[in-house]
Amino acid sequence: MAALARAAQAADYPAEIACVVSNREDAPGLKAAAEAGIATAVVSHRDHADRETFDRALSAALERHGVELVVLAGFMRIFSPWFPTHWAGRVINIHPSLLPSFKGLHVQQQALDAGVRLSGCTVHFVIPDLDAGPIIAQAAVPVLAGDTEETLSARILRQEHRLYPLAVRWFAEGRIAIVDGRVSVRDIPSGGALLFSAEP
């Protein structure tokens, strides 16, 4: 969230953060947003009987602030099918693996346990199935000898902070479309790629 807020402060950035919403009053992102002058709201899941009721209240809060794209950043709750259906094509997430490999939690440890040589992060649209939406872009990170979950996570996080604001920029510029279940990004240079590699 902080990386997105920094990006949004640039004069040429085509999107602004309308609000930061959390289900927890103590979420660090709320304090950071308030200090940056960004509107905040808390919609506690404890105040709602089930996931869909919470999701509808969350959606109402977003709509009150005029949100056009929901950007998940550290939001750890699993939505009911209602939310990604209602916001279809307008909610994205970043996941710390090269999807479709290693879904769920502790994905860096999953990568290490599997012995892969390449990991990374994926920005994707959110659909009712967990970590399964159309992929917008990815950044690849090498898995180094001696890596731990912590060291690999830190290296991936640096790429998340680069990739997520870029994907939001593309959306705000109207360059992203979903065609036959896959993402198309307009005006990628000839020979360009949507997989970005990084130095260790």
pLDDT tens digits along 115-174: 999 999 999 999 999 999 999 999 999 999 999 999 999 999 999 999 999 999 999 999
Q: Which long-range contacts does 82-91 make (Cβ < 8 Å, 24+ apart)?
A: 82/52, 82/55, 82/56, 83/52, 83/55, 83/58, 83/59, 84/126, 84/127, 84/128, 84/133, 85/128, 86/55, 86/59, 87/59, 87/126, 88/127, 89/125, 89/178, 91/125, 91/126
Q: How far is CA 41 from CA 30, 67, 106, 132, 169, in A?
A: 8, 13, 28, 28, 24
Closest CA relative to residue 89, chosen from 188, 181, 186, 193: 181
d(C-alpha 71, C-alpha 69), whole Å: 6
Task: Just list the catalytic residues.
Answer: 95
**Distance from CA of residue 179 to its chain's centroid?**
20
8 A C-beta contact, residue 97 and residue 110: yes
d(C-alpha 26, C-alpha 62), whole Å: 19
Domains plus CATH for the chain?
Answer: 1-87 (3.40.50.170), 93-200 (3.40.50.170)
pLDDT confidence of residue 2: 87
- Which residues does the chain have with pLDDT short of 70? 189-193, 198-200
Proportion of the chain above pLDDT 70, given as a percent: 96
The 3-state DSSP class for residue 184 equals strand
Q: Largest alpha-carbon pair distance within the chain? A: 51
pLDDT confidence of residue 199: 58
The reported pTM is 0.94
pLDDT confidence of residue 158: 95
pLDDT confidence of residue 192: 63
d(C-alpha 133, C-alpha 99), whole Å: 9
Helix pair 149-172, 107-114: axis angle to 10 deg:
120
